[in-house]
Structure 1
Amino acid sequence: MSATVVQSNVLGILAAIGAAVAFSVIDVTFKFLSDGYPLYQVVFIRSVVALVLLLAVIIPLEGGVKILRTQNIRLHGLRVAAVVFANITFFSGLAVLPLAEAVAIAFATPLIVTLLSVLFLKERVGPWRWGAVMVGFSGILVIVKPGMAAFQPYALLPFLGSCGYATLHILTRRAGGSDKAATLSFYPTLGFLIVSALAGLVFGHGQWATGVPLWDVVLKPWAWPEGIEWVIFAVAGVSGAVGGYLVGQAYRLCEAGLVAPFEYVAMPLAVVWGVLVFAEWPEPSVWLGSALIIGAGLVSLWRETRTPGPPPRPRPRSSG
């Protein structure tokens, strides 16, 4: 494997880890805000902050607004649809399921990404990488120890969310050969802004609220934030911009099957958030599961950097 390809893969993996950190911050902020605010409001304010950051900082650093011109507009439309679907289903499930169960089910995403990368991107996923994905998933099972409650009907929501995220990643990989990471981040953020604004116009007055927690995730009325909540919204917006940019970078630099196992990094991060934010000290099974997850990612990285002759895949265009 050439030094250029190795460097590209390492940078892509680091971007995937950074995206996992950013998205874990979004999960925490949503848990803080979901009791008092509807999903469309959280998404709208987060999208406004993220779009400002993209337009003011990230896009100028990548070449200016000219990079937003794309030949993949239909593909970006599909990406927007996939990520909006994923957010609605995952966060709806997160509101009615225990956090650990929802996150564990959502971690079907790397498995689905790896499968779709073989079916639609014609990527070759060898036994080492399949093994890394399976070991990482087994680590999640060790942590969560799911029982029958994990398979209640509501559990379909985060699973559908994982299908949506997997589809987004595959579409990102398809577009990543010609579009920059900032471009890949801009269109979903703009899509979030438009969809959440429309939802706010329809549901914002609260006339559709039902009193049922599952439905009211979306149907609750708009409520203006107060005090520290503005900061939490801002943190969610910055995390959304950074996470969207980094995940786009990861999937344009690396094969989807290589990047996918590193999304498991979010599970050990959940342990950190539990200790720091909720004062929940992990059980021994959590440490064991986290070790399996991290070990799986490191094995995948080690194998990728030592395997000669990578399969052909579209490469990102050069800057400029």
Structure 2
Amino acid sequence: MRANPIHSNVLGILAACGAAAAFSVIDVTFKFLSAAYPLYQVVFFRSVVALALLLAIIIPLEGGYHILRTRNVKLHLMRVTAVTFANICFFSGLAVLPLAEAVAIGFATPLIVTTLSVLFLGEKVGVWRWGAVFVGFAGILVIVQPGADTFQPYALLPFFGACGYATLHVLTRRAGGSDKASTLSFYPTLGFLVISAMAGLAFGHGKWVTGTPIADLVLRAWAWPVGIEWGLFAIAGVSGAVGGYLVGQAYRQCEAGLVAPFEYIAMPLAVFWGVLVFAEWPDRSVWLGSALIIGAGLVSVWRETRTPGPPTRPRPRSSG
């Protein structure tokens, strides 16, 4: 019996909205916890919870543990490297920038994918998508304001993070769809666990602390969570596993052009969390830049559905 396309589209849209909500929860928990805990510790606890959910529930539902076998070992190692770099940059920026500003700059991922796909995959890009790239970068410049008195070098961190996520997506295209979504999610999550554990062993004693906030985000000593903070670590892990699974399901259910716009609800959610939790209200440059980036991203995704090749994820987030 053929699946009802309307039913599939509704499920895909709901999955995309759920993924965007889950990713926004990760953002707010990371930003909240980064005030007291080093980045490697937050990533470690999140990875433990996410990996446990993948192994206990998601992978068995996707077909069993045999799907973890892959012929793309070297590719997955490169993906782990790219997404680790992306996470360090994005979440470091998230710790020192207003939530909505960091999230808005991170939305540059699909625009950067367009550029990288030309350079490394030999894809053809027309006037529409090149125009979207330039408009999107204009939006980033509006937010970052290079050369202005209000320019913050830290604003470049989520941009570098978007570059890392874009590299991840280009490498995923190289896989040619041979691995399942849960397999693609498993290896970066395992990589996060190993790398964050190694960082904890290297920096957990706190002897490398410099007094510089952005450096100490990584070099700060390990501190055991207390009270409600255990719950926040668990929420970050569950949100990561659920968000990664839902976004994969969304793009399996329906076309990227239909799903992608619903992922952009992460922007108003970022504003909501920023105001509610951190008393941060975006200024006019963030609103204008966000409109340019999101509009350009939607045009880029729309063009993706009219040309051959796998769809580009518009949302910069870690796998798993």
* TM-score tier after normalising by the smaller chain length: 0.7 to 0.9
Among residues 308, 313, 316, which one is paired with 1:311 in the alignment?
Answer: 308
Q: Is contact 1:76-1:187 (8 Å) kept?
A: yes
Tell me how far apart the structure 2 counterparts of residues 249 and 78 of structure 1 sit (CA, whole Å).
24
TM-score of the aligned structures, taking structure 1 as reference length:
0.78
CA contact (8 A) 1:265 1:293 kept: no
Q: Which residue of 2 aligns with 1:199?
A: 199
Match in the other structure for 1:31: 31
Q: In 1, Cα distance between the equivalents of 2:139 and 2:233?
A: 32
After TM superposition, the structure 1 stretch with the greater mean CA deviation from structure 2, 185-194 or 159-168, is: 159-168
What does residue 244 of structure 1 align with? 244
Whole-Å Cα distance in 1 between the matches of residues 215 and 129 of structure 2?
Answer: 39
- Matches of 1:270 and 1:99 in 2, distance apart? 6
Whether contact under 8 Å (2:251, 2:259) holds in the other structure is yes
**Alignment partner of 1:245: what SS?**
helix
1:268 aligns with 2:268: yes
How has the CA–CA distance of structure 1 residues 156 and 217 changed in structure 2, closer, same or farther, with 3 Å as cutoff?
same
What corresponds to 2:105 in structure 1?
105
The alpha carbon displacement at 1:102 in A equals: 3.4
Counterpart code for 2:48: V
Shift of 1:38: 0.4
DSSP 3-state at the match of 2:221: coil
**Alpha-carbon shift at residue 116 of structure 1 (Å):** 1.4
SS of corresponding position for 1:211: coil
| Runs of 5+ consecutive residues of structure 2 not aligned to the other structure | 312-320
Aligned partners of 2:51 and 2:213: how far apart in 1?
30
Q: Percent identity?
A: 79
SS for the counterpart of 1:210 is coil
SS at match of 2:37: coil
The 2-side partners of 1:121 and 1:257 are apart by 21
For residues 116 and 14 of structure 2, the distance between their equivalents in structure 1, rounded to whole angstroms, comes to 22
The question of whether the paired residues in 2 share the 8 Å contact of 1:182 and 1:245 is answered with: yes
Matched to 2:308, the amino acid is P
- Report how far residue 172 of structure 1 moved: 1.8
Residues 180, 128 of structure 1: alpha-carbon distance in 2 compared, 3 angstrom cutoff: same
Q: For the Cα contact (< 8 Å) 1:265–1:294, is it kept in 2?
A: no
CA contact (8 A) 1:49 1:234 kept: yes
TM-score (norm 2): 0.78
Distance 1:12 1:242 in 2: 14
The code of the aligned residue for 2:158 comes to P
Q: Which shifted more, 210-219 or 125-134?
A: 125-134
Any conservation in 2 of the 1:113–1:260 contact (CA below 8 Å)? no
Q: Return the offset for 1:45.
A: 0.2
State the distance in 2 between where 1:85 and 1:312 align.
26
| 1:173–1:251 CA contact under 8 A, matched in 2 | no
- Equivalences for 1:207-286 in 2 at 5 Å? 207-247=207-247, 264-278=264-278
Deviation digits for residues 53-80 of structure 1 (CA, Å, limit 9, x no counterpart): 1011110110010100011111000000
SS in structure 2 at match of 1:36: coil
RMSD: 4.0
Tell me how far apart the structure 2 counterparts of residues 14 and 146 of structure 1 sit (CA, whole Å): 36
Change (3 A) 1:303 1:191: closer
Taking a change above 3 Å as real, the CA distance of residues 210 and 279 of structure 1, as seen in their structure-2 partners, is closer
CA distance 1:300–1:206, shift in 2 (3 Å): closer
Aligned residue pairs, count: 308
Runs of at least 5 residues in structure 1 that lack an aligned partner in the other structure: 315-320
- Larger deviation, residues 116-125 vs 129-138: 129-138
Match of 2:115 in 1: 115
Q: 1:301 to 1:7 in 2, by over 3 A?
A: farther
- State the alpha-carbon separation in 1 of the partners of residues 120 and 96 from structure 2: 33
Distance 1:169 1:62 in 2: 21
Secondary structure, counterpart of 1:277 in structure 2: helix
Which amino acid in the other structure matches residue 181 of structure 1? A
Cα pair distance change 1:137/1:23, threshold 3 Å? farther
2:314 paired residue number: none
Rounded Cα–Cα distance in structure 1 between residues aligned with 2:6 and 2:122: 20
Distance 1:183 1:253, change over 3 A: farther
TM-fit CA distance, 1:259 = 8.2
The range that moved more, 253-262 or 196-205, is 253-262
Separation in structure 2 between the aligned mates of residue 249 and residue 276 of structure 1, nearest angstrom: 30
Contact persistence 2:108–2:136 (CA under 8 A): no
- Once residues 241 and 211 of structure 1 are traced to their aligned partners in structure 2, the CA distance between those partners, rounded to angstroms, is 34
Q: Is the 8 A contact 2:8 2:254 kept in 1?
A: yes
Q: Displacement, 1:182?
A: 0.2
Q: CA deviation at 1:91?
A: 2.0
Task: Tell me how far apart the structure 1 counterparts of residues 281 and 216 of structure 2 sit (CA, whole Å).
Answer: 31
2:178 matched residue in structure 1: 178
